[in-house]
Structure 1
Amino acid sequence: MELLKKLTEAFGPSGNEDEIAEVIIGEIKNYVDQIRRDRLGNVIAIKKGKGIGKIMVSAHMDQIGVMVTSIDKNGFLRFTDIGYVSPYTSVSQTVVFKNGVEGIVSREEKKEIKDVKLGDMYIDIGASSKEEALQRVNIGDFGVFKSNFVVNGDRISTGALDDRVGCYAAIEAAKRLKETHADVYFVFTVQEESYLSGAATSAYAIEPDCAIVIDVTDTGDTPNCHPMALKLGEGAAIKIMDRGMISHPKVKNFLIDIAKNHNIKYQLEVLEGGATDGAEIHVSRAGVPTGAISIPTRYIHSPQEMVDIKDVNGAIELLVKALEEYRGF
């Protein structure tokens, strides 16, 4: 639990992942044979197997955030989103910039909340003039939403679970892996929330024989939500399809067989909106058979997301068994 808290509290909006990268390197370096950051900033940790191919595990380490676009004469900051940020969940939230400066997100009162867009919003850092504001922040500065790490029984809520919980699962899997047939490439990617850049370049360089993406997914268990056959606490999800890819049938069936053979509770996921690193990985070079293990998450892309630790532990167990038993297709 402490590791997950540490990961979610690290600063790392898309395109500014240095701090979270250092945290991940510190946590995984003693459990892998090689580790490096590539030119784009991805963390690539390799655990050597018996040399029967290469399998890539991808979890993105960036989080959604905001960027200052302009400052008016009264010191109010206009901003844009980095990754999708909803104006409705942002109102009255606190934004924290990399240097520690905090501000409150608010909106112009000329519009009803249902009509508000990010262009109608601003961040108030308590400055009374543009000159004063510029002493604290500048154009292009990155910020993230402030959150609290809350544990209620098996349920954990905090910000940046998308996808620090996937990073947590990959790190824990690396710690538990004893012996594998294939070389395992644990890749913690940059810029998934913005352009899927890290997945594209790392997959191209590694040229894996297979890939498994670890990311969050929506649920269908809150009042009057969009129908979806996923619930918190009912197990990790094995992806069938999302807006970025249809999981390769061999990878999907392999994961289902692993779950059944080891009595690991699982759900099947069809995500009608959203995509993962898999969208770029599966079409890299001549193509990579790609699937995904997803962690059901409520309130994705909000300052307080929620997961069930049973689903997280199930995802880790499924990933470990899959990596141990993978021998190519």
Structure 2
Amino acid sequence: MSEYILLKRLCKVHAPSGNESAMKDFLLTYVEENKNRWKVAPQIIHGEEFQDCLILTFGNPRTAIFAHMDSIGYTVRYEDQLVPIGGPHAETGTKLVGSDSLGPIECELHLTDDKQVKYKFGRAIDTGTDLTYKCNFRETKEYITTCYLDNRLGIYSALKVAETLTDGIIVFSCWEEHGGGSMPYLLKYIYENWKIKNTLISDITWVTDGVHPGNGVVISLRDRNIPRRAYINKIIGLAQESTIPFQLEVEANGSSDGREIQTSPYPIDWCFIGAPEDNVHSPDETVNKKDIKNMIELYSYLMEKL
């Protein structure tokens, strides 16, 4: 049996931005079923004041991991029109799934000649219905290909780190793919309760001309935002000390939950660390298994040392 059964289950959960409740419920069930097998059973924090977000606290935390639960997708507008959630890569024939008042939906995306995004289905779909890619999880000796490795792989890595974590916080956030919004109250809570100043963003980045699959987890020096260099240098020093394979990334575009940390009123540092993927925001996102392994190992090491 594949060791990635949990990742496959995560990728099948319907949780586009703004509709993350199914992922929260999945995570609550998973944590309750597995926490007593972990090195430290976490305190589980959720409720109306956290909307659909979830916080796990372990021991005496010094560092927090943030992993966003939401995915890209589409919202049904009027007639057969679709409005993007986040930045999905649209191709005619892509299978989309969801449900409305009349039941389950499996339809096809259609890109018109004038670049309008529409759906093809045997009936009208209720206005406001959100649709996501149909999951087709494929695994080879070296790679995993599926929709929503961004950011179900970030969640998966955090849950694997949780198995041996003694001191730390894991935060599962919402809305990241469509502009954010949950981070301000999450940051307020962890700073006011634990004075957390170190954070790591467990998310997925891109394969580029300078970042290659199979060469290790990526530590981002910057994207559209620039984190504090003294903190990044500390992360790089610990990564070198660990001997776990890693790559460095410099990008001008892209963003993450780190943006909201940087613009918050709290003196909290952040660093984006994640596996690189091909075919970004498509049904065929692809990540090398070595990079997944390195991601989990580096997070575990940093949570112990920071």
Using the size of structure 2 for normalisation, the TM-score is 0.89
CA contact (8 A) 1:44 1:187 kept: yes
1:269 and 1:218 map into 2 onto residues whose CA distance is 9
Structure 2, unmatched stretches of 5+, are none
1:106 CA displacement: 1.3
Report whether the alignment pairs 1:193 with 2:197. no
1:107 and 1:274 map into 2 onto residues whose CA distance is 24
1:290 and 1:39 map into 2 onto residues whose CA distance is 21
CA contact (8 A) 1:230 1:296 kept: yes
Specify the alignment match of 1:175 in structure 2: 163
Q: Secondary structure of the residue that 2:77 maps to in structure 1?
A: strand
1:40 CA displacement: 2.6
Structure 1 segments, 4+ long, off by >3 Å, are: none
Report whether the alignment pairs 1:325 with 2:305. yes
Structure 1, unmatched stretches of 5+, are 72-76, 128-132, 221-227
Report whether the alignment pairs 1:4 with 2:7. yes
Report whether the alignment pairs 1:21 with 2:5. no
Matches within 5 A, 1:4-153: 4-29=7-32, 30=35, 31=38, 32-37=41-46, 38-49=49-60, 54-71=62-79, 77-87=80-90, 90-98=91-99, 99-108=103-112, 111=113, 116-117=114-115, 120-127=116-123, 133=124, 137-153=125-141
CA contact (8 A) 1:45 1:185 kept: yes
1:189 and 1:165 map into 2 onto residues whose CA distance is 14
1:25 and 1:213 map into 2 onto residues whose CA distance is 21
1:153 CA displacement: 1.2
Q: Secondary structure of the residue that 1:143 maps to in structure 2?
A: strand
Q: Secondary structure of the residue that 2:212 maps to in structure 1?
A: coil
Using the size of structure 1 for normalisation, the TM-score is 0.83
1:247 CA displacement: 2.5
Q: Secondary structure of the residue that 2:155 maps to in structure 1?
A: helix
Aligned residues: 288
CA contact (8 A) 2:67 2:202 kept: yes
1:271 CA displacement: 2.1
* 1:144-180, Cα deviation, whole Å (9 max, x unpaired): 0113100111200000111010000001001122x33
Q: 1:291 to 1:151 in 2, by over 3 A?
A: same
CA contact (8 A) 1:247 1:292 kept: no
Q: Secondary structure of the residue that 1:193 maps to in structure 2?
A: helix
1:288 CA displacement: 1.0
2:19 and 2:42 map into 1 onto residues whose CA distance is 26
1:283 CA displacement: 2.5
1:248 CA displacement: 2.2
1:165 and 1:272 map into 2 onto residues whose CA distance is 23
Bigger-Rg structure (1/2): 1
Specify the alignment match of 1:74 in structure 2: none
1:200 and 1:236 map into 2 onto residues whose CA distance is 28
CA contact (8 A) 1:28 1:174 kept: no
Kindly provide the amino acid, as one letter, of the partner of residue 261 in structure 1.
Answer: E
Range moving further from structure 2, 311-320 or 193-202? 193-202
Q: Percent identity?
A: 28
1:205 CA displacement: 2.2
CA contact (8 A) 2:50 2:186 kept: no
Q: 1:3 to 1:67 in 2, by over 3 A?
A: same
Specify the alignment match of 1:223 in structure 2: none
Root-mean-square deviation (Å): 1.6
1:201 CA displacement: 2.5
Specify the alignment match of 1:230 in structure 2: 211
CA contact (8 A) 1:250 1:289 kept: no
Kindly provide the amino acid, as one letter, of the partner of residue 42 in structure 2.
Answer: D
